[in-house]
Structure 1
Amino acid sequence: MNTGGLSKSVWTDADFTEMGWHDATVHGLSVQPTGEVLPRLLLDLDYLVQWVHPVPPETYFSFWVAPATLVFDGVWDMTGDLDFTGSTPDLKVDGVHRLPSDDGREDYPLWHIEGRAFDLKFRAAGYRQYFRRTPALVAGQTLPYAVRGGCAFTEVGFN
């Protein structure tokens, strides 16, 4: 099985320095109550596992892309902005940042997900990202809907 360089199917905030979300496509976002005090934030993404340099005569990059569910637990103090000025929202992540706490609450750092057409800031204990399928080598940065299995918030990594 070719995993496009992906070494495991579930990653956590302990892997933060090894991960990068630039140009990941957001297909869905859910704020999910937990029955506890603090909810969870879930994002359905096309995560770019690896950029593949073109080999002449090709001139464009190709990409190993996998559908993934990014889950933040214990979310609070969330603020954000969505801008759907066009007919089709193009939610692409520019970056995910873990910022130092300004109040001494190191157990709940400030997270900032910035992107094209959206911006989210919130506090959360950490995250898990589940790669739901092995990556596929595609010409673009977004998987076809049928290949990715539609929009989902499944919290199970591939085997």
Structure 2
Amino acid sequence: MGHGSHQQSGLSKSVWRDADFDLMGWHDATIHGLSVQPASDILPSLLLDLDYIVRWVHPVPPATRFAFWVSPATLVFDSVFDLVGDLDFTGLTLDLEIDAVHRMTSGDTRPNFSHMPRWHIEGHAFDLTFRAAGFRQYLRQAPRRISRTALSPADRGGCAFTQRGFS
């Protein structure tokens, strides 16, 4: 296994890119922070601090609950525009859990933008859509096996947007 690999969880690397999209899944990943940061070009970057579920572990009887290999991660979308979001926190829960991340063709006929896909981050209590050139995801620590889908603030080192994978 190479740089940033973790044999126990099956993780092969700690930095992922949009070319890896079909191998990835964000279902039930918890978002701890969101930041829009200026970039070197004209368009900003959208950064999400989240707990990425590297692998779901099926229960072995007599256990009845899943376990999870989870790593704190920074998900960075580059050259972001047309960002639209919606939050609905009616009730007592304030968790930002992702249901799915969708990548769609742009449908834009302008030459400078036709190659940039539309992204949809569908959450259990929120919704984000935007255009972006692509993404990188940095797993900042080796995954930990836990009984929940999210790490504690102490285990994850608080909220961070570090763009470096663990080695």
The answer to whether the aligner puts 1:10 opposite 2:18 as a matched pair is no
| Equivalent position of 2:159 in the other structure | 151
1:88 Cα deviation after fit: 4.8
Q: Is the 8 A contact 1:31 1:42 kept in 2?
A: yes
Q: How does 1:25-40 map to 2 (within 5 A)?
A: 25-34=30-39, 36-40=41-45
Give the TM-score normalised by structure 2.
Answer: 0.90
Note if 1:65 corresponds to 2:70: yes
| Identity across the alignment (%) | 65
Q: Give the Å deviation of 1:156.
A: 0.5
User: Which of 44, 48, 51 is the equivalent residue of 2:49?
Assistant: 44
**Alpha-carbon distance in 1 for matches of 2:75, 2:99:** 15
Which residue identity does 1:143 align to in structure 2? Answer: L
TM-score by length of structure 1 reads 0.95
Gaps in structure 2 of 5+ consecutive residues: 1-5
What secondary structure does 1:133 align onto?
A: coil
SS at match of 1:101: coil
RMSD: 1.4
Give 1:144 deviation, angstroms: 1.3
Query: Please, which runs of 5 or more residues in structure 1 have no aligned partner?
Result: none
Paired residues of 1:29 and 1:41 also in contact (CA < 8 A): yes
SS in 2 for 1:57: coil
Paired positions, count: 159
Change (3 A) 1:121 1:8: same
Residues 2 and 134, structure 1, Cα contact 8 Å, conserved in 2:
no
